[in-house]
Chains A and B, each alone.
Chain A
C-alpha cells in the first residue's frame, strides 16, 4: 500500500531521499484488530448497560457493529502511518542518488572549469583591448585635436587680423572645443570598458552560481556518504570458503592444477619475502 507519491526532484534534479522513503516505505502495524474490536464491544456494552435495562440482543449487535464501523472510519481519516524502509531498496535508491549526484558534480565541475578558462581568456583579451583602445584613442585624438585647432585657426584667422583682441577669445574657444572633444572620446572609451566589464561580471555571476550548485551537490554527496550502511558493500553469496567439489568435471586434473598454481604463488611469496 503506497501513497502513490513519486520522488520529487530537489535542486538540480537530485532524487529526494524523503520521497524515496515515502515511496519505498512499508507501514508498520499499529493496531491489533481483535483488541480494538473487543474494546469497542466492551465500551458499547457498558454504555448501553448503564442506561437501558434488558436490551434486545439483536439491537446490541447492531449498535456494536455501527460503533466498530464508525470508529474505524474515524481512525481511517485521522490516523498517521509510520514507515520503515527495507534496507536493500533504500540502499539501491541511495546508490542511484549518489551516482546521479556524482554525475551532476562532474558536469558542474567541468562546466565551471570551462567558464573559468573562458573568463580568464576574456579578461586577458579585454585588458589588451583596453590598452589598445586607449592608445588608438590617444593617437586619433591627437589627429582630431589638430584638425580642430586648424579649423578654429582658419575661422579666426581673418577675424583676428581685423581685431587682434579676438585672439584671446580664439584661445578660449580652442581650449573649450578641445575639452569637449576629449570628454566625448573618454565617454566612448568608458562605454566600451563598461560593456566589457558587464560581460566579465556576467561570467563571474555564472561562475558563482555554478560554484554554489557545486557546493550544494558536494554537500549532498557528503551527506549520502555519511549515511550508515551506504558503503557496506554487497554481500557475497557464500558464507564459507568453498573449494572444488568432488563432483565437478575434471576434478582430478583441476585439483592438480590448483595445487601447481598454489605452489607457484607460494614460491613467489617466499622469493619476495627473501628479497625484502
Chain B
C-alpha cells in the first residue's frame, strides 16, 4: 500500500492510518535485518594508562588499562562479574586481584614466568577483548584490526597481544605507536614524533620507511614522572597538606601548564582533614617543565644521527601526541627549548592527542591491501 492511496491523516485523524511519517521512513523490523557481510576496521592504541579504539562503524571508546578479577566467591557474587575493567576495576580494587597489565609500556612481566606473569597476560588478553567488544562489532562482518603497541614490546608481549586479538578479529597487525600517529596525519617523511604517555615518552624518527630501532628512543620522563615531580614539590612546599599521588594526577590533568604567564593554579587540599587553599602555580609549572630537557636531548640525538642534509627539515617537523602532551603551552615550550639547545625547531601538537594513535591505526587498517589481511589470517 503506497502513501498516495492511504487516507490522508488530516482526513482520518490520528489513530487509523499514516505510513512511516516519523523516523525518516526507516521501516526495517528486527526480523528483516539484512545479513550483508561488511568489513569493520579497528584502530587500537594499547597504552599503559589507557586503551582506545576507533572503528569504521563510527565507534570510539577508551578504557583505562586496568583489569580486575574478584578475589573470592563473596566478591564475585557481589560484583556479579568475573572480570572488571577500567575505572570500575579501579573503584573496586580492594575486592579484586588488580592488574595494570601494560605498565611501563610493555605487558608487565610477561617475559617472566609464574602465576603473576600468567595473570598479567590474561589481563592484557581480556583488556584487548574488552576494547574490541566496546567497538560493537557485528558478528556478520569481517574484522581487521591494527594495534599500536608500545614500541619496545618484546616478542612475548607481541605474541600475547596477537593471541588475545585473534580470539575476536579475523586478521590483526601490530605497528609501533609513533608510526601510527604519523601515518594518521599523513606526515611520513622527515618527521619526529613525541608521544607522551603515562609510563613512557616515545620519540620516533620517520623517514619514509618503517622506523627501525635506531629511529626510536624511549624515555621514562612521561605523565607518571610529572605526577611524581609535582607530588615531591608539593610535599616540600606544603608539608602540612595531605594528598596522594592519585589526587596529584587529577590536579595535573586539570591544570597542567608550562607558560611563564600561566593562570594561577589554586587548589584545595586537606590540612588535618580541613580543606585549605594552596597556590601551586610554580610547582605545577616546574613539574610540567621537568620533562622538556630530556625530551629535547632525545630529539637532539635523533636529529644528530640523521642525514645532515635533512636535519633542518626534521627539526621543523616535530609532532606532539599522547595524553601527556595536553599540558598547556607544551608545544611552544619545547619549540623554544629546541631553538635554544638545537638552534631551531617547530613543534605541532596533534588535534586529538588522546586518539592520535588509534586514529592512525584505523587509517593503516583501511589502507592495507586485502591480500595482506588474507595472508595474516
Contact = CB atoms under 8 A, between A and B. Distances in A.
A191 B236 CA distance: 55
B309 interface: no
Interface string B19-57: 111111011111001001111110000000000000111
B188 A75 contact: no
Interface residues of B, number: 74
B376 A269 contact: yes
17 contacts: A26-B22, A31-B17, A75-B16, A89-B23, A234-B138, A236-B41, A236-B55, A241-B39, A242-B366, A243-B366, A243-B368, A250-B188, A253-B208, A262-B372, A265-B376, A266-B376, A268-B174
A233 interface: yes
Interface in A220-276: 228-229, 232-244, 248-250, 253-254, 256-258, 260-262, 264-266, 268-269, 271-272
A261 B23 contact: no
B364 interface: yes
Given A229-B33, A241-B142, A26 B59 contact: no
B107 to A, nearest CB: 15
A246 to B, nearest CB: 12
A81 B7 contact: no
Interface of B: 1, 5-9, 11-24, 26-30, 33, 36-41, 55-59, 78-80, 88, 95, 136-139, 141-142, 144, 155, 158-159, 162, 173-175, 179, 183, 186, 188-189, 208-210, 364, 366-370, 372-373, 375-376
A195 interface: no
Given A26-B27, A36-B7, A243-B367, 9 more contacts: A29-B6, A89-B23, A235-B57, A236-B41, A239-B38, A242-B366, A244-B368, A261-B364, A264-B210
Contacts of A271: 155
A89 B159 CA distance: 41
A105 B40 CA distance: 32
A254 B26 contact: no
A261 B15 contact: no
B28 A242 contact: no
Contacts of B376: 262, 265-266, 269
A30 B19 CA distance: 9
A75 B11 CA distance: 11
A50 interface: no
A86 B139 contact: no
B17 A253 contact: no
Nearest to B30: A229
Contacts of A250: 186, 188-189
Nearest to B79: A109
Contacts of B7: 31-33, 36, 72
Contacts of B142: 241
A2 interface: yes
A126 to B, nearest CB: 22
A260 B212 CA distance: 11
Contacts of B58: 234, 237
Nearest to A109: B78
A81 B1 CA distance: 16
Interface in A189-241: 218, 228-229, 232-241
Contacts of A234: 55, 57-59, 136, 138
A70 interface: no
A260 to B, nearest CB: 4
A236 B30 CA distance: 18
A264 B151 CA distance: 13
A235 B71 CA distance: 37
B337 to A, nearest CB: 30
B3 to A, nearest CB: 8
Given A86-B27, A240-B39, A268-B174, A232 B159 contact: no
A236 to B, nearest CB: 4
A62 to B, nearest CB: 18
Given A33-B5, A235-B138, A258-B367, A27 B40 contact: no
A51 interface: no
A106 interface: yes
Contacts of A113: 78, 95
Contacts of B141: 233, 235-236
Interface in A76-106: 76, 79-81, 84-89, 105-106
B367 A242 contact: yes
Given A31-B12, A33-B5, A257 B56 contact: no
Given A31-B16, A218-B80, A237-B58, A242 B210 contact: no
B183 A257 contact: yes
A43 to B, nearest CB: 17
B15 A84 contact: no
A106 B29 CA distance: 32
